Homo-oligomer: A and B are copies of this chain.
């Protein structure tokens, strides 16, 4: 493993400064502004009684997510998906990923026939928007669940674990944790890893952007991600304490 100087001076296994600000919004049942360096995502949790039609009468709850980017979150302005009249493939894919990830720590039965919707809107993007969104959305979800429990809306405690996520990648030949945008663009391999607070995997999505990668590299990236997720889990605990 060759060392490479990172643009912001971090060591390869170092997260960017991460801040999670709770109750950023006045109306939402849970809301968080999460920042991974220059990446800022506003996560709002909405509680609705009732579940989608296909789940009615099951006694089980539901958790889902919608991800989007403000047009000027990025360096050059992107067209609004509302103006184009349809949601792009990337947006769909990330929304589905966030929803799946959060559902991994939810006990549907304890939630009762209620829904929680996590809106993750990227206000500013500098790499890792989906992992920041998952990490922040978990905190918003926890706050929304707290709100529900205070109102005695759910039969039990719907949170069976916590969830955090981080990106890892190979730039040059160096495995790096938590890629910022300029690193992401140069990465040969890019991997997003979602883990529970207890250290189990929820999602592993690795993609060879450049050269295909071998098993050793995959192992190194998984180690790096596991350490990063553990650190984020600690931060979530501190923030929610």
Contacts and interface: CB of A to CB of B under 8 A. Distances in A.
Contacts of A42: 70, 123
Contact of A82 (B44, B82, B93, B201): B82
A205 B208 contact: no
Nearest to A81: B82
Interface stretch (A1-9, A130-138, A214-222): A214-222
A205 B81 CA distance: 27
Given A72-B46, A208-B203, A83 B92 contact: no
A121 B70 CA distance: 8
Contacts of A237: none
Interface in A62-101: 66, 68, 70-75, 77, 80-93, 95-96, 100
A27 interface: yes
A73 to B, nearest CB: 7
A100 B203 contact: no
Nearest to A95: B89
A90 to B, nearest CB: 8
A173 interface: no
Interface residues of A, number: 66
A213 interface: yes
Given A207-B100, A208-B104, A72 B87 contact: no
Contact of A213 (B85, B200, B207): B200
A204 B205 contact: yes
Number of copies: 6
Interface string A210-231: 0111110010001000100000
Nearest to A86: B86
Nearest to A195: B212
Nearest to A126: B26
Contacts of A87: 82-83, 86, 89
A196 interface: yes
A114 interface: no
Contacts of A199: 214
Given A66-B71, A86-B87, A201-B208, 9 more contacts: A26-B126, A46-B72, A70-B119, A70-B121, A82-B82, A82-B86, A85-B86, A201-B215, A205-B205
